[in-house]
Amino acid sequence: MCGIFGVYNVEEASKLAYLGLYALQHRGQESAGIASSDGSKVYSYVKMGLVADNFTPDVFDKIPGRAAIGHCRYSTTGTSSIKNAQPLTVSYSRGQLAMAHNGNLVNADMVRAELEANGAIFSSTTDTEVIVHLLAHSKKNGFREMLIDALKRVKGAFSLVVLTENELVGVVDPWNFRPLNLGKKDGGYVLASETCAFDIIDAEYIRPLEPGEMVIISEKGVESFKPFKPAKQKKCIFEFIYFSRPDSYIFGQSVQKARKALGAELAKENIVKADYVIPVPDSANSSATGYARESNIPYEMGIIRNHYIGRTFIEPSQSIRDFGAKIKYNPVKEILNGKDLVVIDDSIVRGTTSRKLVKMLRRVGAKDINWRISSPPITHPCFYGVDTATRAELIAASHTVEEIKKYLKVESLSYLSIDGLVKAVGGKKEDYCLACFCGEYPVEFNAEPEKMGFEG
Ligand code: AMP
Ligand code: SF4
């Protein structure tokens, strides 16, 4: 994942980027950074940690100007360290630029090896730096042409915002794996992974970027190009299931509407008798309302989530059962004792969270526990910018639904079907990437899965 944001021609651009990143914090909590431009120079401030902790009032003097981009990072594989934090700011033959990337390139290792063989020295392990090196090495004339030239050499998922001294660029790969949206703010323009970042700064949502589209925002306004060979669009359907915030529009659609439809579809496919529908908060709240409405079973907040988990946690010296899960969740005995439940979660990855939650629910006296998942079983890892664990770790890669049911120790377990998923989200099946549910990868990768050490 990762959240990206850009703003052009506004007062206090870096403060707006800060607010935008704050709204996108759910997309990455490891590092947060902002690069800005005052028309003649690019400035940058990047730090490990959360947006609200990193940007104290004194920081904004270091990132002046009327244009800015921002990034909050979630590393897929490889190290989480400051050298990989973004935006990546560099000086090259034409001046300065800063780049922020959401997605994963599938040929970054090969291109990087080639560049290194020709003398390039990398300072990070991000695939984003591969794009920057390709751009700096390009023989084309001018920044735009050099950027297009660089992007034509890479394969995979990229939604990018790029800032130079006097331009802001937004660009999406031809498959459109990750969302990027265009908005308006006073006399300026805004780009963001999700539209919840527009709402927080009172910007007006214009539209999503199209597959393979590049927008150049400058003194001339917004210019749109389609510089790449067209491909079949493959929007990440997991954005609707889990990653994006329900109050956002992505790919031109409401996430909340899609998520409620996921729950309703799940109920249509597999209804069960119970006293309550309980969401695993917060990611299943919306789909559980859809399930409850469709099934006519009352919705209850039977599990409460603690939102204030810090980055480091002092573990108790004595062992406390299911400690990890207890930091995050606590069941409400008053509601659950003696009741039959339908518990809704958005997905099962390794199965550890669900198993621990079931134990917690039993301890407060829940009777029948019917586990319902508003997505199909995750059988394959993602190579396009999401950490869905390795194949060996994915419980549904090697276990049947019946076996997972036994592992979780629930009365029943069922997942949403792939067809039900597409029906709920809307649109055509071929327009979505469904690889983690079926193994049909829309863009081939060259490396062994375990060697995919690049990040975005
Ligand atoms: P697990 O214990 O590994 O089965 O984790 C399942 C939980 O992780 C679900 O409740 C999801 O909300 C959440 N989840 C799903 N996909 C991801 C992801 N890519 N990164 C982090 N959490 C995820
Ligand atoms: Fe999204 Fe899954 Fe495709 Fe990755 S493999 S882009 S998570 S749908």
Rounded distance between C-alpha atoms, residue 95 and residue 40, angstroms: 10
Please name the residue whose Cα sits nearest to atom 11 of ligand 1: 347
Looking at the CA of residue 177, tell me the nearest atom of ligand 2: 6
Residue 347 CA, ligand 1 centroid: distance in Å: 6
| 345 in Cβ contact with 416 (< 8 Å) | no
Instruction: Give CA–CA dist 23/197, Å, rounded.
Output: 5
Q: How remote is the CA of residue 348 from the centroid of ligand 1, in Å?
A: 6
Residue with token string 């802001």? 168
For ligand 2, pick from 27, 233, 382 the residue to mutate: most ligand atoms within 8 Å of CB: 382
Identical fold between 3-233 and 259-308+322-426 = no
Domain-wise residue ranges, the chain: 3-233, 259-308+322-426
- Is the backbone of residue 23 left (phi > 0), alpha (psi -120 to 50) or beta? alpha
CB of 237 closer than 6 angstroms to any ligand 2 atom: yes
Strand order through the sheet with 276-279 = 276-279, 341-345, 369-373, 412-415
What is the full DSSP assignment across 156-223? B--EEEEEESS-EEEEE-TT--S--EEEEETTEEEEESSTHHHHTTTPEEEEEPPTT-EEEEETTEEE
Query: Domain 3-233 is in which class?
Result: alpha beta
Q: How far apart are CA 236 and CA 89, in angstroms?
A: 28
| Ligand at shortest distance from the CA of 437 | 2
Angle at 70 between CA 66 and CA 71, to 5 degrees: 175
| Local structure of 370: helix, strand or coil | strand
Give the residue, out of 2, 235, 240, 386, with the most ligand 2 atoms within 8 A of its beta carbon, to mutate for a pocket test.
386
The two counts, helices (H) then strands (E), for the chain are 16, 23
The per-residue pLDDT for 453 is 37
Q: Which ligand is nearest to the CA of 352?
A: 1
Nearest ligand, CA of residue 380? 2
The torsion region of residue 176 among left (phi > 0), alpha (psi -120 to 50) and beta comes to left
User: Could you say which residues of the chain have pLDDT below 50?
Assistant: 77, 448-456
The token pair at 161 is 């915002």
Q: Does domain 259-308+322-426 have CATH number 3.50.50.100?
A: no
Catalytic residues: 2
Q: Considering every ligand atom shown, identify the ligand nearest to the alpha carbon of residue 237 and give its number.
A: 2
Q: Taking CB atoms and a 6 Å cutoff, what residues make up the pocket around ligand 1?
A: 242, 280, 283, 345-354, 386-388
What's the pLDDT score for residue 313?
62
Q: Kindly give the distance from the C-alpha atom of residue 439 to the centroid of ligand 2, in angstroms, as a whole number.
A: 10
pTM over 0.75, yes/no: yes
Contact between 102 and 4 (Cβ < 8 Å): yes
Tokens of 373: 């998942």
pLDDT of residue 377: 98
The residue behind tokens 């607010």 is: 19
Q: Which residue has the tokens 């299943």?
A: 284
- Going from the Cα of 346 to the center of ligand 2, the distance in angstroms, rounded, reads 14
Instruction: Measure the CA angle with vertex 178, ends 352 and 382; round to 5°.
Output: 40
Instruction: For ligand 2, atom 1, name the residue with the nearest CA.
Output: 236
- Angstrom distance (rounded) from CA 419 to CA 434: 11
Residue 400 is predicted with a pLDDT of 98
Is the beta carbon of 291 within 6 A of some atom in ligand 2? no
Work out the number of other CB atoms within 10 angstroms of the CB of residue 313: 10
Return the ligand 2 atom nearest residue 239 CA.
Answer: 1
Q: Where are the alpha helices (DSSP H) in 364-413?
A: 395-398, 401-408
Question: Residue written as tokens 């297009």?
Answer: 148
Compute the distance between CA of residue 75 and CA of residue 333 in angstroms, rounded to an integer. 37
Contact 423, 265 (CB under 8 A): yes
Residue whose CA lies nearest to ligand 2 atom number 6:
236
Torsion of CA 206, 238, 353, 448, to 10 degrees: -130
Q: Ligand 2: which residue has its CA nearest to atom 2?
A: 436
What's the confidence (pLDDT) of residue 385? Answer: 87
> Which residue, 161, 139, 163, 157, is CA-closest to 149?
139
Q: State if residue 415 touches ligand 2 by the CB under 6 angstroms criterion.
A: no
What's phi and psi for 342, nearest 5 deg?
Answer: -110, 115
171 lines ligand 2 (CB under 6 A): no
